[in-house]
Amino acid sequence: MSDATPPSQPSEPARYATFSGCGQPLAVELESLLGVVAPAQLEPLPHSAQWLLGVAAWRGRAVTVVDLAGLVGEPPTATAKWLLLQWQQQCVALAVSTVGAIIAASRCQPPSSHSLPAALAELCQPWWVEDRGSRTACLSVAALYQTFAVQPAFTALRLRPTTIPAAK
């Protein structure tokens, strides 16, 4: 089954980290999560988009910090934690309002009437995850990075999320 196709039947459970962003409960595949950290000192980037909060140090590397709410055009929310997300050896910190539990959930069809803002829905998988009868949208880390690739704040400054060296 392709990651882009919603399953017709629930899939085998996989592990997801849950969090709240843009006033919505969300999940992300656990294999994409490098860690959850408290916000650290930020170095702002001049002339950058408001959703690009700046750059912070993490394990000796500069990591780009992005406000999820601002990225999708929502008002900024109070940031409680940063989710460190990895995609193709790159790392970015995503500022979110709350971090929940790690769940074992199955992929499922989205509910027929869901209330995700359109810009946020574009950053989510076409399938949702279901845990104990509750369905949650799942953030696509690949879609998040593809959004960065076309944003002027990244292209104009030639800024890219931090590359993580391959394990030896």
Dmax over Cα atoms in the chain, in whole Å? 48
Kindly state the tokens that stand for 76: 């900024």
Q: How many CB atoms lie within 10 A of CB 143?
A: 14
For the domain 14-158, what is the CATH code? Answer: 2.40.50.180
User: Does residue 120 contact residue 71 with C-beta atoms inside 8 Å?
Assistant: no
Q: What is the DSSP string of 52-93?
A: EEEEEEETTEEEEEEEHHHHTTPPP----EEEEEEETTEEEE
The pLDDT value recorded for residue 46 is 87
The pLDDT value recorded for residue 168 is 53
| N- to C-terminal Cα separation, the chain | 31
Strands (E), the chain: 14-21, 24-29, 33-37, 52-58, 61-67, 81-87, 90-96, 98-108, 124-131, 134-139, 162-163
The pLDDT value recorded for residue 85 is 95
Question: Hey, where are the domains in the chain?
Answer: 14-158
* Residue pLDDT tens, the chain, 168 long: 445 555 555 567 899 999 998 889 999 999 999 999 999 999 998 888 888 899 999 888 889 999 999 999 888 878 889 999 998 888 899 999 999 999 999 999 888 777 788 899 999 999 999 998 889 999 999 999 888 776 655 544 444 555 555 555
pTM value is 0.80
The pLDDT value recorded for residue 75 is 86
